[in-house]
Structure 1
Amino acid sequence: MKQHKLNKQAGASMVEIVVTIIIIAIGLLGVASLQANTMRYLKVANQRTEATVAAYDLSERMRANGQGVKNSVTGAASYTYTTAYATTVSSLPAMPSCAVSTCTPAEVAAMDINEWLRGLSNRLTDGAGYIVPVAPVGYDVIVMWKEANLTIVDPSCPAGVPPAPGIGVRCFTVRFTP
């Protein structure tokens, strides 16, 4: 009688195929998670960039209105805005009016602040800001926006006066020295 030799395996078994599919699936899930995190961090980076641009925009407006940085009559700071974050987000202040050629430095300051706040609300998610005089060096320009996954009070936000904006709000501060 003739004996049959067992043939060696010539292809992949079903177990090997299933293991390969599982490994590929785990890898694809990892890539998808990486993509989602990249998009989230990209949005956060974009918001920070917009905050930086906005803070320097106001600083340049202040520098251009040198006489308006301090009111020439009262000596008080013309560039001051410390209205609570929630109030600013819910309703922006009314736009001041003056004829462009006859605006006083204080009126230009009021228009600059208003345009800056409107720009913040357009550029950032629930964007708002504070402008706080810091004697004797200048001003702190604080840009604030709502960050989706932030569940704490940002330690870089001001405490006291002006009021702290609360949980989930990110702050960026630039000190402007005229």
Structure 2
Amino acid sequence: MQLSRESSQAGFSLIEVLVSLVIICIGVLGLVALQSRSLVLSQDAIQRNNAIMLAGDLLELMRSNAGAALDGKGRFSIDSPYAKPVGEDFTTRALEAADGSCATLDRGQGGEAIAGKDLTCWLQQVRTLLPVSDAILKANFAVCPTRQPPEVGSAAPYADPDACVSPDASMVMIVLAWQDNTGNSAGCSGGLCFYTLRGAL
């Protein structure tokens, strides 16, 4: 018995449809993978931008309260109320009822009390904008006098013993860290990403 020409063509069309479906499925899977990767990279970029902004904000807070930030010789000291060595907590001060909120804080008087309140408000921003825990803040954040930049490629920027020095210096180094949920290795090590800012006060 011979197959008719029509049934032979119908079978060929079915194979074409199946091949087309496989190609479309592969394309859709590729688009989904590309979209998920772009979301991860966007999140990484947002966190890095937040870290840059936060470090710059802290530097400007210190510059605007130079009387508390600097010693009598105009240098940043490890004894400054803004200083925070690795492994220690920030020296914060709770806002009082008269202060209102961080947005309405009157910084006109300056001084050590304002420095503590500055750090309280700044840490609120850090916790809002970066994925950090209290352990990360204590173990990986640093605000210290420095004379030279950290070693290139060091995982923790303060690992270089000369980068974060205890004597007074004219430069300050601010190190921020946050959890790396992206798997992006640029500037990240051991599940943490770091940003370091060095500047003069």
Say yes or no: TM over 0.5. yes
Match of 1:144 among 158, 177, 184: 177
Q: Deviations over 1:12-63 (max 9, x none)?
A: 6211110000000000000011111111111111100110110010011011
**What is aligned with 1:51?**
51
* Code of the aligned partner of 2:145: P
Deviating beyond 6 angstroms after TM superposition, the runs of 4 or more aligned structure 1 residues are: none
Q: Deviations over 1:138-166 (max 9, x none)?
A: 111111111114498x867xxxxxxxxx7
Native 8 Å contact 1:147 1:169 kept in 2: yes
Q: Deviations over 1:51-102 (max 9, x none)?
A: 01100100110111121221349x7441211253xx76xxx76534688689
My pick for the range that moved more, 25-34 or 116-125, is 116-125
Q: Secondary structure at the match of 1:51?
A: helix
Flag the 1:123–1:46 CA change in 2: closer, same or farther, 3 A.
same
Q: Which runs of 5+ in 1 are unaligned?
A: 157-165
**What is aligned with 2:126?**
120
**What is aligned with 1:173?**
196
**What is aligned with 2:153?**
none
Q: Secondary structure at the match of 1:13?
A: helix
**What is aligned with 1:162?**
none
**What is aligned with 1:133?**
145
Aligned length in residues: 159
CA RMSD after TM alignment: 3.4
Match of 1:95 among 93, 96, 102: 93
* C-alpha distance in 1 between matches for 2:72 and 2:113: 12
Flag the 1:40–1:102 CA change in 2: closer, same or farther, 3 A.
closer
Flag the 1:118–1:15 CA change in 2: closer, same or farther, 3 A.
same
Establish whether residue 33 from structure 1 lines up as the match of residue 39 from structure 2.
no
Flag the 1:69–1:101 CA change in 2: closer, same or farther, 3 A.
closer
Q: Which runs of 5+ in 2 are unaligned?
A: 99-105, 148-168
Identity of aligned residues (%): 24
Q: Secondary structure at the match of 2:177?
A: strand
Flag the 1:23–1:104 CA change in 2: closer, same or farther, 3 A.
closer
* C-alpha distance in 2 between matches for 1:110 and 1:6: 88
TM-superposed CA distance for 1:124, in Å, is 0.5
Native 8 Å contact 2:91 2:119 kept in 1: no
